[in-house]
């Protein structure tokens, strides 16, 4: 059983994934904890798979090359694996927008909590994404309970025993599982700590969903989050 397993979904990040993984390995090796990096390559169309092949002999890195299913389902696949193999699960994105050096802040704060969730600071977004971020937070506030400030933050440390129960309530095709997890953590009265983490804009690649596709995906996410909430009521009250 690892102390922590890091779930990292990857899509078309050949330009930076080598630097990102090396930074995480170097950072985690400093603290004497047992860990594994679980890297899920979600059908990248660039040469991400070739870059990741360099790590196949590293026992601290597990590479899963899979068919494209989307960011949310890929995260969920990683969560299901990691929650069985480690005491804690950390989810991070592969774009280097939140640096590995901030991990230790969450790790040192974890003991009294079931989840330590990042709040992205210094974040610059286009207006469309600002609106969607605000909308996601309002949905959680309205249909679940307050408790997490940055409901879709891809820098979150969660206790596996708590996460496993929450995952039972989330369908594998959920578009934005972190939003649902944020709501369910609050709803189940999990012990949550919100912690600021500096955010920097990506230097390579580009976001995979834009404009009208982003609006369409947001509506799909809204409907899923509401459905999860109301299908969860009997389970929460048991």
Q: How many CB atoms lie within 10 A of CB 235?
A: 12
Average pLDDT (177-193) is 95
Least confidently predicted of 15-24, 117-126, 207-216: 207-216
Helix and strand totals (H; E) in the chain: 8, 7
The two structure tokens encoding residue 64: 């899963």
Contact 143, 236 (CB under 8 A): no
CA distances from 238 to 51, 188, 233 (A): 47, 11, 9
The architecture of the domain spanning 2-237 is Alpha-Beta Complex (3.90)
Contact 98, 155 (CB under 8 A): yes
**Better-scored residue on pLDDT, 40 or 233:** 40
Which pLDDT band, with edges at 50, 70 and 90, does 129 fall under? low
Domain borders along the chain are: 2-237
What pLDDT sits at residue 238?
Answer: 43
Least confidently predicted of 67-76, 158-167, 179-188, 223-232: 223-232
- φ/ψ (deg, to 5) at 73: -60, -35
The two structure tokens encoding residue 221: 């996410």
Residue 184, SS3 per DSSP: helix
The pLDDT > 90 percentage for the chain reads 70
pLDDT in tens, 53-103: 999 999 999 999 999 999 999 999 999 999 999 999 999 999 889 999 999
pTM, two decimals, is 0.89
């Amino acid at each position: 059983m690892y102390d922590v397993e890091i779930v990292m979904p990857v899509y078309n990040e050949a330009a930076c994934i080598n630097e990102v993984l090396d930074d995480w390995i170097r950072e985690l090796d400093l603290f004497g904890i047992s860990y594994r990096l679980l890297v899920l390559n979600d059908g990248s169309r660039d040469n991400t798979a070739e870059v990741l092949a360099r790590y196949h002999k590293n026992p601290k890195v597990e590479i899963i090359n899979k068919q494209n299913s989307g960011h949310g389902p890929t995260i969920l696949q990683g969560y299901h694996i990691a929650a069985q193999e480690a005491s804690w699960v950390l989810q991070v994105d592969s774009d280097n927008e939140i640096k590995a050096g901030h991990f230790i802040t969450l790790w040192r704060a974890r003991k009294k909590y079931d989840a330590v969730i990042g709040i992205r600071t210094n974040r610059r977004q286009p207006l469309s994404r600002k609106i969607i971020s605000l909308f996601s937070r309002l949905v959680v506030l309205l249909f679940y309970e307050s408790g997490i400030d940055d409901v879709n933050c891809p820098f979150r440390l969660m206790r596996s025993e708590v996460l496993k129960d929450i995952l039972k309530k989330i369908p594998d095709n959920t578009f934005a599982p972190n939003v649902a997890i944020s709501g369910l953590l609050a709803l189940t009265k999990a012990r949550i700590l919100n912690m600021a983490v500096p955010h920097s804009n990506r230097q390579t690649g580009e976001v995979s969903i834009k404009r009208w596709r982003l609006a369409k995906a947001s509506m799909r996410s809204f409907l899923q989050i509401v459905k999860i909430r109301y299908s969860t009521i009997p389970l929460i009250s048991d």
